[in-house]
Amino acid sequence: MRTVSIVKYYFNLVLAYSTYYLQYAIGMFADYPPEVKVAVSVTVMCLVLMAVMGFALLYLSRHRKKLRKIRLRLEDRFGKAMDYMLSTEAQKLMSTQEIASVFGIPKEGIGKEILKNRREKEIFVQLFYQRFITERSDLANRNNITSLLYLFGIPEFLEKEVSLRSMKHKVDAMGKIRTFKLPVSPWVINKLLSSKHLTVQRLAMYSNIMLSSDSDLDYFETDFFDKHCCIKDEIELAYSLQRRRRAGLKLPNLARWANLQKNERSQCMFVRLMRRFDELEYCDQLTELYKTQHRKKKLIEEISRTWGYLHYTDSEDLLIDALLAQPDDTKVAIMHALTRFATGRSLHALLEGFKNTTNPHVRFEALRCMYNYGDEGRAQFDELERNAEEGDKKFFDFFKNSITLEKIGLDKEQAYHPSVETVYNG
């Protein structure tokens, strides 16, 4: 009570003084023109803001010093033990007591709070996280790491961060949960999924894909990726799927997800992921998409590439039919797909692709495909070269040199060898 009354007293005192000086200032400038009054107000505002920033700087500086001290203390106390936990020596399965003894924690300390408060836990996680995201973490025994984190009460702390604090903390904590591959309760996942922030929702989703044993992405709305899709999403999804595959879990049906999207960018993403994870099984499900979405040239390009890469030869007729009707960039992708099939049925399509365009890039790629098509293709290439008009001769020369370059690209040692013959230089 006494403290409250003292605070009240000083507050009133400050208020009274400020009111007095403000009135004095207003009175002082009463006779001045309005521009001077504005100038004075701006000056006062700037001074006040500078004072606030000055105090903020002082506070920040003190706060950082405090954090640095804690960091040094924790590093000093647990640093070596953390390093040990990621070393080859700690690969064997250890009991909680053994881990505790490595960290210098007595028997009676197990199960009690080792780190005093949230701040210490945060710094401990940071210190460990920085070590953990190095290559060394691959050597670590996952069970030991999980026991260690439980020993220090980290999982509960991270879950609290995820569910209670600001978006920034949610994102950070979720990132760490995923890095350490800690199990997350369904309650937390549901809470995150219902977050209004897309970033948080996505993190929950990727974590779930990576950590849960469910085989599909059914727990998300179908237009999830249509709202916001960036390269990072693709990388995140690829990581999560890769980890699922490593753990022996089935991948979701990516073709179905490509079909469910409306946005071209997200459709392309799922098609690319199919290519990346060799999902030949569902390639036929892209046919409908190919037929109905023919105006989306990027998507058609990606599907053609995926079919070619996965050797889905059933699509060959569809690709041959589409070749001449597509824009140049897509044509190139289709020609490459046909070359990968190399069934002998599509050589005429490549020839058409070469003749029916004036775009040098497409002609160049058509020649490249012919050249790589096998003996028949090589023969056709030679014939074209023999019959080439004067203007086209240079084009063939240029092309041949590019093949030399390609060979160099394939063979690294040869590429850096000075004996490589220089035929063309720009």
Partner 1 sequence: MWIAIYYLFCYLVFGYTMLLMASYLYLVIMSRKAQKNQGINIPDDETIKYFMQGSPLTPAVSIIAPAFNEEVTILDNVNSLMQIDYPNFEIIIVNDASTDRTMELLINEYKLVEVPYDIAMKVQSKPIKRVLKSTEEKYSKLVVVDKEHGGKKADGSNAGINVCSNKYFVCTDVDCIIEPMALYRMMWIVLNSHRPVIGVSATMLMSNGCIVEDGRVVEAAVPSTLVPMFQQLEYLRSFLISKLGWSSINALPNISGGFGLFDTDVAVKSGGYDPTSMAEDVDMLLRMVTYMKNTGQDFRLGQVPKVCCWTEGPGTVKTLCRQRMRWARGLFEIISNHRKLFFNPHYGPIGAFTLPYIFIFEFIAPVLEMTGFLFMVWLVLAGGVNWDSAIILFGMIYIFSIFMSFFVLYFDYSTKAVEWKNTRISYLKLLMVTLLEPFIYHPIITYCSNVGYWRFISNQTAVWKPIQRKGVKKKKS
10 Å Cβ neighbour count for 263?
15
Task: Identify which of residues 53 and 379 has a Cβ nearer to partner 1 in the complex.
Answer: 53
Classify the phi-psi angles of 311: left when phi > 0, otherwise alpha if psi is within -120 to 50, otherwise beta: left
Q: Which of 12, 19, 43, 343 binds partner 1 (CB under 8 A)?
A: 43
Go through the chain and tell me how many residues it has. Answer: 426
Alpha helices (H) along 311-389: 316-323, 328-341, 347-355, 360-371, 375-386
3-state secondary structure of 90: helix
Shortest reach from residue 424's CB to partner 1, in Å: 5
Location of structure tokens 């490459």: 336
Binding mask 221-250 for partner 1 (x = CB under 8 A): -------xxxxx-xx--xx-----------
> Which region, judged by CB under 8 A, interacts with partner 1, from 6-14, 211-219, 344-352, 415-423?
415-423
**Cβ neighbours for 59, distance < 8 A, ≥ 6 positions apart:** none
Task: Identify which of residues 6 and 50 has a Cβ nearer to partner 1 in the complex.
Answer: 50
**Cβ neighbours for 371, distance < 8 A, ≥ 6 positions apart:** 377, 378, 381, 403
**Cβ neighbours for 279, distance < 8 A, ≥ 6 positions apart:** 251, 254, 255, 273, 310
Instruction: Fill in the DSSP letter of residue 324.
Output: T
- Asked if 179 and 149 count as a contact pair (C-beta separation under 8 A), the reply is no
Q: Number of residues interacting with partner 1: please give it, by CB under 8 A.
A: 57
Task: Identify which of residues 139 and 379 has a Cβ nearer to partner 1 in the complex.
Answer: 139
Rounded to whole angstroms, how far apart are CA atoms 350 and 365?
A: 9
Q: Which of 6, 7, 42, 93 binds partner 1 (CB under 8 A)?
A: 42
Shortest reach from residue 421's CB to partner 1, in Å: 8
Classify the phi-psi angles of 261: left when phi > 0, otherwise alpha if psi is within -120 to 50, otherwise beta: beta
Pick out residues in 262-301 that bind partner 1 (CB under 8 A).
Answer: 265
Q: What are phi and psi of 250, to 5 degrees?
A: -75, 145
Task: Identify which of residues 13 and 230 has a Cβ nearer to partner 1 in the complex.
Answer: 230
Rounded to whole angstroms, how far apart are CA atoms 153 and 359?
A: 64
Q: Six-digit token pair at 19?
A: 């009111």
Task: Identify which of residues 101 and 402 has a Cβ nearer to partner 1 in the complex.
Answer: 402
CA 108 and chain centroid, separation: 43
> Which region, judged by CB under 8 A, interacts with partner 1, from 57-65, 117-125, 207-215, 299-307?
57-65
- Asked if 173 and 161 count as a contact pair (C-beta separation under 8 A), the reply is yes
Interaction between residue 26 and partner 1 (CB under 8 A): no
Interaction between residue 175 and partner 1 (CB under 8 A): yes
Q: Which of 69, 168, 291, 348 binds partner 1 (CB under 8 A)?
A: 168
Interaction between residue 57 and partner 1 (CB under 8 A): yes
Pick out residues in 385-404 that bind partner 1 (CB under 8 A).
Answer: 398, 401-402, 404
Which amino acid type is present at position 173? A
Task: Identify which of residues 117 and 425 has a Cβ nearer to partner 1 in the complex.
Answer: 425
Pick out residues in 120-159 that bind partner 1 (CB under 8 A).
Answer: 130, 133
**CA nearest neighbour of 353 among 364, 342, 344:** 364
Q: Which of 110, 127, 320, 408 binds partner 1 (CB under 8 A)?
A: 408
Shortest reach from residue 234's CB to partner 1, in Å: 6
> Which region, judged by CB under 8 A, interacts with partner 1, from 5-13, 42-50, 154-162, 373-381?
42-50
Task: Identify which of residues 238 and 320 has a Cβ nearer to partner 1 in the complex.
Answer: 238
Pick out residues in 337-366 that bind partner 1 (CB under 8 A).
Answer: 361
Contact residues toward partner 1 (CB under 8 A) are 32-33, 35-36, 38-40, 42-43, 46-47, 49-50, 53-54, 56-57, 60-61, 130, 133, 167-168, 171-172, 175, 179, 199, 228-232, 234-235, 238-239, 265, 361, 398, 401-402, 404-405, 408, 412, 415-418, 420-426
